[in-house]
Chain A
Amino acid sequence: MKIGVFVCHCGSNIAGTVNVGSVAEEALKLPSVAFASDTMYACSEPGQDAIIEAIKEHRLDGVVVASCSPRMHEPTFRKTVERAGLNRYMFEMANIREHVSWIGKDKDANTRKAVDLVAMAVAKLTQDRELTPKTFDINKRVLVIGGGVAGIQAALDCADGGLEVVLVEKTSSIGGKMSKLDKTFPTVDCSSCILGPKMVDVAQHPNITLYASSEVADVKGYVGNFNVSINRKATYVDWAACTGCGLCMEKCPSKKSRDVFNEEIGTTTAINIPFPQAIPKKASIDPEFCLKLTKGKCGVCEKVCPTNAIRFEQKQETAEEAVGAIITATGYDLFDYTRYEEYGGGRYADVITSLQYERLLSASGPTGGHIKRPSDGKEPKDVVFIQCVGSRDKSVDRPYCSGFCCMYTAKQAILTKDHLPESQSYVFYMDIRAPGKLYDEFTRRAMEEYGTKYIRGRVAMVYPKGDKYIVRGADTLMGAQVEVEADLVVLAVGAEAAKGAPQLAEKLRISYDAYGFYMESHPKLRPVETNTAGVFLAGSCQGPKDIPTSVGQGSAAAAKVLALFSKDQLESDPQVSVVDIKRCVGCGKCIQTCPFGAIEEMDFRGMPKANVIETICQGCGICTSTCPQGAIQLQHFTDNQILAEVNAICQQTPAQNLK
C-alpha cells in the first residue's frame, strides 16, 4: 500500500508549536508511506491541489492529513481524495491542532506527539477498506415543533417552498411570546399587527397542518424518514364544529381559571379562547375549573353552543405523522422571578414581571391597555424597572445575558410615558446591551426624549411603605446608595430554556447545554443545524433571541430543509454496523443495547441472527463492544483498525520511551 502524508502548518496555529517539517520527515520513514510533505494550508485550494497531484504522481492508495479536528475538515479532504479517484474512506486525519499545538507549548514534545498521531493514522489507513454509501428516498414533509414567531416563519417558508408542513403547538393557539407583547422594539410597531397576518397565513395555507394543544410524544427514524407521534390533548371541544363565536365564554359561570395568556393577571373562564386573534380560534375547557368536569353539574356551554361542539367525554388522542425533517422552535420560558425574594415578587401585588406589564400595556389585555396597579387599580406615577432579574447572575445559576431585556425595558419605559405623560420611569441596570440595528439609538431615546432615569446599579431590596414601595439600590456613577419611591415595580425577567426542553431533546437525539438550550452544530458556521441529521433549530430554543433574530433563524432553518429536500434521494453513511453471520450466535445482546432500535432478529436457516437496519444505525458502536463474539463490527472502526492504531502507539523503541 502506498500512503501519502500531508502535515499542515495551519498558518502558525500548528507550525507555531510543532516542527511540521520534521513530522513529515519522520512520517516518510513509516512503512507504507510513499510520500510526505508539509503544507501551509492543506484545506486551501493549492493545498488540496497538491494532495491530488501527489496522489496521481505517486499513485497513492490512501492519504493522511495531519491538521485540525476531523469535525472541521474531514468532509473537505474526503472530497479531495475522491476528486483524485480514491474512495473517500481511504483517508485518515490526525488532529495535531486541537490535540497538540493548541494545548502544549513544548515544541519538542508536541512534535513527538504529532509524529505518534500520524503513525496511528497511517497504521489505521493500512487496515481501511473502501466503503460505498447507499441511497434512500426522502419523505419531503417537515415537522415544525413550536408555533412562536420562529416556528411560524419556518412553517410559512417551508410551505411557500412547496413542502407539506406539520406544525405542532403545545398551547391552544400559535403566536408564542410575541402574541403577548404590546409593541416591539426598536420601531414601536404593534406586535399583533405584524404577527397577526402571519398567524392567519398559517391557518389558511393549504400546505400547513396545524396541531394546536398538542405535543410531540415520540420520534423514531432518521433523516428523510422520521415517524412522529403527536399527543393531541383533550380540549373537550370538537374543534371541527367550534366556530369561535365566544358565546360559551360569555355564559361560563366558572371564572377562576388560570389566565395563562395574560400571564395570570386576573383569571378567565373555564371554557375560553385565549385571545381574540387566537389561531386556531377555538374554545377549550380547563378541566381543573370546569364545574361539569369537576362536579358533574353545569354544562351551560353545552346548552348555549350553537354548533353543539362541546364534548365533555373527549380523551387525549395520538396522531402519527411521517416527515423527512424536523425544525425545533420551542422557544423559552421566563425565569422564576420569585427566586429573588429581596424584590418581593409574588409577595407584593405591584411587583410584576415585564411580560405581565406587556399585558397591562396591551389594548387587548385585561385592563384594556390602561396601566393600572394590580393592588388597587390606580395609575402609577413612579415606575421602577429592575433589569437582569435572572440574567448575568451566577448565584441563581443564570450567568448568561438574556439579550433582549435591555431593549424591551427601554420600550416599556417609552410606552409608560406615552400612556401616562405625568409618570416618571426609573431603570436600574448593570450595562445597557443594545447591539442591534437602531437599538442603541432607541435606548438613548428613552433617556433623552422620554426622560427615563437610568440608574447604573443593582437593586438590593424592595419593601412596602404605605401604598408605595421603596426600591433601594446603588447608583455606581454617583457612587451612592439610592432609594426610589415607586408605585409599580417591573422586573425585567430573563429567559431560560423552555420547560421540558431536555426531554424533547432526548426524543430528537439532539444535545443541549447546561441550561437546557439546544446545541447548534457549529456556533458560527452551522447555527441552525444540530448534530443529528435532519433536525434543525430556530429561535430561542438555542439561546435567548429577539424577534428579528428568531424570524431570521426560522427562515434559515426553512432554507436548510428546502436544500436537504432539493434531492430526491439521500446517501446513507456507510459507517454502520455489519454482522458477520458466521460468528453471530444469536444471543440478542446487541438488540437490547442498541439505543436506536437499529438491530432486529432474523431467521437464518432456522437459526436466530442479528440483522442491522442500515438506515437506522447511527454508527455509535455500542453493539460492537457488547457482542461477546466480536461478530458485529462498525465499518471504518473495526476492531482490527482500532488495534492497528493501538499497536502503532504502543510499539515504540525503548529509546523513544526514554525521551
Chain B
Amino acid sequence: MPLPGILCPTRQTASQRDSPKAWPTWPALSMQTGKAKRIKAMETIHVNSSCDEAFIHAVENESGENVSLCYQCGNCTAGCPYTDFYDIPVSQIMRLVQMGQRETVLSCRSIWLCATCESCTTRCPNNIDVATVMDVLRHMARRAGKNPEPQVKTFCDSFLASVKRHGRVFEAGLMASYMTKTGRILTDADLAPKVLPKGKLGFTPHNIVGKKEITEIFQRYNAEKNS
C-alpha cells in the first residue's frame, strides 16, 4: 500500500493550484543548474518481448487507474510546471506504461521530480489520476532499488523520519537531517531571513497529540510491508 499524502507535499485547493506562487518546491530542484538532459535516444523497442503486461497490471492495481484510457492528448505535459526538469515528459511516461516499458519508466528521473501538484490530474480529459500513477511509479522504483535522484530520496526519508518521531514534520530538524546526509549546507539558506521572523521555522519540535497513533501507523505499514 502506498502512503498517499505522506510522501507528497500538502495537497492544495484548486485556487491555490492556479496561483504560480503556490507551487510546492522540492529541495532537489534548487540543485538543478539548468534544463535536464533528455535520456539517451531510445533503442528499437521490441514490442512483444519488452512489453511487460505484469507491470501494466501492477501500475493499474496500485493506482486504481486504467492506463488504456490515455489517448495521448498531452494535456498533462502541457500543464506540468516541472516538465523543464524532466527527462521524460509525463504524457510520454503514460505512453511508456501503456507499452509496458518497465525499465525505462522506473529508471527515469521525472517520477522523482514530480511534485504531485496534480495539475495533470486536474486537466486529464479522461479523468485519469496521473499524479497518483506517478506516485505509484515512484514507489515501484523505490521498491526496485532505483534511486536516480538520491537527494530527493534522502529528503523523503528525512521527512518521514521527522513525521514518525514527532507526529508532524519538525522543519528545523528535517533541514538539519537533510543537510547532514547530503552535505548541502546552504540549500535554501536564503529563505531563512524571510521564514524565521514569521515563526515558520521553530527551533524546538512541536509534538502532536496523536503522536503515538502516528507511530503506530508507521509500525503497521512496516509490518504489512515485511509480511
Question: Interface residues, chain A, CB within 8 Å of chain B?
Answer: 382, 424, 426, 444, 447-448, 451, 453, 455-456, 472, 475, 477-485
Cα distance, A58 to B46, chains bound together (Å): 83
Which of A424, A451, A478 counts the most chain B CB atoms within 10 A? A478
Contact B44 A477 (CB under 8 A): no
B49 proximity list for chain A (CB < 8 A): 485
Selected from B43, B47, B101, the residue in CB contact (under 8 A) with A484 is: B47
Contact B95 A478 (CB under 8 A): yes
Cα distance, A75 to B46, chains bound together (Å): 64
Q: Does B99 count as interface, using CB distance less than 8 angstroms? A: yes
Cα distance, A523 to B44, chains bound together (Å): 45
Cβ distance B127 to chain A, nearest Cβ, rounded Å? 13
Q: Does B66 count as interface, using CB distance less than 8 angstroms? A: yes
Contact A478 B45 (CB under 8 A): yes
Q: Known: A477-B72, A478-B42, A479-B92. Contact between A453 and B66, CB under 8 A?
A: no
Contact B68 A451 (CB under 8 A): yes
B28 proximity list for chain A (CB < 8 A): none
Known: A448-B68, A453-B99, A475-B99. 11 other contacts (CB 8 A): A444-B71, A453-B98, A472-B44, A475-B95, A477-B72, A478-B45, A478-B92, A481-B43, A481-B45, A482-B46, A485-B49
7 contacts between A and B (CB under 8 A): A424-B48, A448-B68, A453-B98, A453-B99, A477-B95, A483-B44, A483-B47
Contact B95 A484 (CB under 8 A): no
Q: Does B124 count as interface, using CB distance less than 8 angstroms? A: no
Contact A448 B42 (CB under 8 A): no
Q: Does B96 count as interface, using CB distance less than 8 angstroms? A: yes
Closest to A384 in B: B47
B31 proximity list for chain A (CB < 8 A): none
Closest to A432 in B: B71
Contact B72 A482 (CB under 8 A): no
Cα distance, A273 to B117, chains bound together (Å): 67
B36 proximity list for chain A (CB < 8 A): none
Contact B47 A477 (CB under 8 A): no
Q: Is the interface of A mostly helix, strand, loop or mixed?
A: strand
Selected from A382, A447, A482, the residue in CB contact (under 8 A) with B68 is: A447
Q: Does B196 count as interface, using CB distance less than 8 angstroms? A: no
Contact B69 A480 (CB under 8 A): no
Cα distance, A451 to B43, chains bound together (Å): 25
Closest to B56 in A: A451
B95 proximity list for chain A (CB < 8 A): 475, 477-478
Cα distance, A604 to B226, chains bound together (Å): 115
Contact A478 B96 (CB under 8 A): yes
6 closest pairs, A vs B, by CB? A480-B42, A477-B95, A484-B47, A481-B44, A482-B45, A485-B48
B99 proximity list for chain A (CB < 8 A): 453, 475, 478
Cα distance, A478 to B101, chains bound together (Å): 10
1/0 per residue, CB under 8 A from A, across B35-69: the answer is 00000001111111101000000000000001011
Cα distance, A472 to B42, chains bound together (Å): 15
Contact B101 A482 (CB under 8 A): no
Cβ distance B95 to chain A, nearest Cβ, rounded Å? 4
Contact B96 A453 (CB under 8 A): no
Q: Known: A475-B99, A477-B92, A477-B95. Contact between A482 and B69, CB under 8 A?
A: no
Cβ distance B70 to chain A, nearest Cβ, rounded Å? 9
Cβ distance A243 to chain B, nearest Cβ, rounded Å? 52
Cα distance, A453 to B97, chains bound together (Å): 12
Cβ distance B93 to chain A, nearest Cβ, rounded Å? 10
Cα distance, A483 to B45, chains bound together (Å): 6
B45 proximity list for chain A (CB < 8 A): 475, 478, 480-483
Cα distance, A453 to B96, chains bound together (Å): 12
Cβ distance B110 to chain A, nearest Cβ, rounded Å? 14
Cα distance, A448 to B68, chains bound together (Å): 5
Cβ distance A486 to chain B, nearest Cβ, rounded Å? 9
Cα distance, A444 to B42, chains bound together (Å): 28
Contact A479 B42 (CB under 8 A): yes
Cα distance, A444 to B72, chains bound together (Å): 12
Closest to B42 in A: A480
Cα distance, A121 to B1, chains bound together (Å): 84
Selected from B44, B66, B71, B98, the residue in CB contact (under 8 A) with A482 is: B44
Closest to A472 in B: B44
A455 proximity list for chain B (CB < 8 A): 47
Closest to A381 in B: B48
Cβ distance B96 to chain A, nearest Cβ, rounded Å? 6
Contact A484 B92 (CB under 8 A): no
Contact A448 B69 (CB under 8 A): yes
Interface residues of B in 63-88 (CB under 8 A from A): 66, 68-69, 71-72
Contact B44 A426 (CB under 8 A): no
Closest to B69 in A: A448
Which of B48, B91, B95 counts the most chain A CB atoms within 10 A? B48
Contact A482 B47 (CB under 8 A): yes
Contact A448 B92 (CB under 8 A): no
Contact B42 A483 (CB under 8 A): no
Cα distance, A592 to B30, chains bound together (Å): 90
Q: Known: A478-B96, A478-B101, A479-B92. Contact between A448 and B44, CB under 8 A?
A: no
Cβ distance A455 to chain B, nearest Cβ, rounded Å? 7
Interface residues of B in 151-188 (CB under 8 A from A): none
